[in-house]
Amino acid sequence: MFDKFKKEEEGEMTEERTVDEHANMKSRGISSNETVGEIGIVELMDKRAKLEEAIDYVGLMIKNLKDKRTVLEKDIEEESVDIKNLKEKLEKVSQYIEEENRGIKELAHKRQQVENEADEVGSLINSLRDRLSGIDRIIDNEGNRVKKIKESRDSL
């Protein structure tokens, strides 16, 4: 990019002057050949022009870099906000999972209590069934005795 700012080869000398430069030099009594040969003002002016162009170019590069940095800063800030939002959502999900785990533990405890009560009820039912079976045997035995008594009365 800076190739256009390089010096021209010393063997060749190009002389590009504006009409104003010629007029300015003539008004001071300086000829074109004297300037080139003795003072080198044209070369100096060319160098200055090239340096000004280079400075303008560098300034443009700096502006572009600043613009890029500004865009990057904006992008980073947006990403930061997005990440903070995601983090908040994840924290809420984590809280929900913890609540659900507590709820599941409570349900498991309640189910265990119900199972224990069901086992107690089953034991009571078995106990009552055994007692009813005992009563049924007693009634059957008493019924058989009554029958025997009736039969013995009938046979007399």
Interacting residues of 35 by C-beta distance below 8 A, sequence separation 6+: 25, 41, 42
* Rounded Cα–Cα distance for residues 50 and 2 (Å): 10
pLDDT of residue 6: 42
pLDDT of residue 135: 94
pLDDT of residue 152: 85
**Within the chain, which residues score under 70 in pLDDT?**
1-38, 156
pLDDT of residue 23: 54
For residue 42, the one-letter residue type is V
Where are any strands of DSSP class E within the chain? none
Interacting residues of 103 by C-beta distance below 8 A, sequence separation 6+: none
Read off the tokens for 115.
């199972």
pLDDT of residue 13: 39
- Which residue is it, tokens 């300034």? 59
Half-sphere exposure of 120 (CA within 13 A, CB side): 6
Read off the tokens for 36.
């080139």
pLDDT of residue 81: 96
pLDDT of residue 10: 38
Interacting residues of 11 by C-beta distance below 8 A, sequence separation 6+: none
